[in-house]
Amino acid sequence: MDLEIAGKTCLITGGSSGIGLGIAKVLAQEGVHLAIASRRPDPKVIEELQHFGTTVVPISADVSKEEDAVRMVEESIEKLGHLDFYVNNAAWTWHQSITKLDSESWYNTINTNLSGAVFACRTAARHMVQRRQGAFVIISSTSKFTPGYTETAYRCSKMGLDALMQNLATELAPFGIRSNMVTPGHFVTRMTGWDRLDKTLVEKFRDHYIPMRRYGETQEVGYAVALLLSDKCSGYTTGADIVVDGGLSLGPIKVITDDEIKALNQIE
């Protein structure tokens, strides 16, 4: 099916690796012109995406800083001519148990995952309102469904994105602008660190907690994003959340022993 998004323009944050790169590959294959934002743009990635025949421009930005988030959007508009789509994917996490959570880890996580999204979406929304068209897709995480040990800051940031996506959907609908979310489960990426863990542990988690008994391929998130960006396929869809997790969120949370919990929060 032709999604009718060829020739459109899109800014993707965190688009040089992991899930962001998977999204970028799918959109490039569909003929979307891209601005790829990351702290350190990878020339090899840009070249790889350009092979699909669309315009691909690198944007250097640290989304944890408001001024960078704003400039990133403005630079994308300048280089692409206008902005049809914005995909908020950039994220990172600093794991700490609740009694050991320090302000640096908290603010690094919140500013990177949530504040940057708010300021970038605000800037993109101003542009889209003037054009009376556009679409947002916010990338979340299944961590918002189940409490994960040492993930307080990360979960707060991801749950906050739900509110952002919903407010974009309700406030921008009169201007013909849609906002939706894609929530991935576990993928083997640099951020999740699954590629650095013991293979037996990785296989055990997969077989015990993921009903489909496999980890996701990053481009599978990209297909969901492309579907939501397409007015042809999703013109009446806003405020929705597509979960791409192989069934992970259907199962119970991982339970550890009381002794293990105490060890996480032991005050020395």
Least Cα distance to 48 among 72, 24, 30 occurs for: 24
> Is 154 known to be catalytic?
yes
Taking the C-alpha atoms of residue 41 and residue 113, their distance in angstroms, rounded to an integer, is 18
CB contact burial 109-139 (16+ within 10 A = b; e otherwise)? bbbbbbbbbbbbbebbbebbbeeeebbbbbb
**Active-site residue, selected from the candidate residues 86, 154, 209, 215:** 154
Taking the C-alpha atoms of residue 179 and residue 166, their distance in angstroms, rounded to an integer, is 7
**CB-based contact 90:72 (threshold 8 Å):** no
**CB-based contact 75:66 (threshold 8 Å):** no
Cβ atoms within 10 Å of 51's Cβ, excluding its own:
9
Phi–psi pair at 236, nearest 5 degrees: -110, 15
Q: Which residues form the catalytic set? A: 154
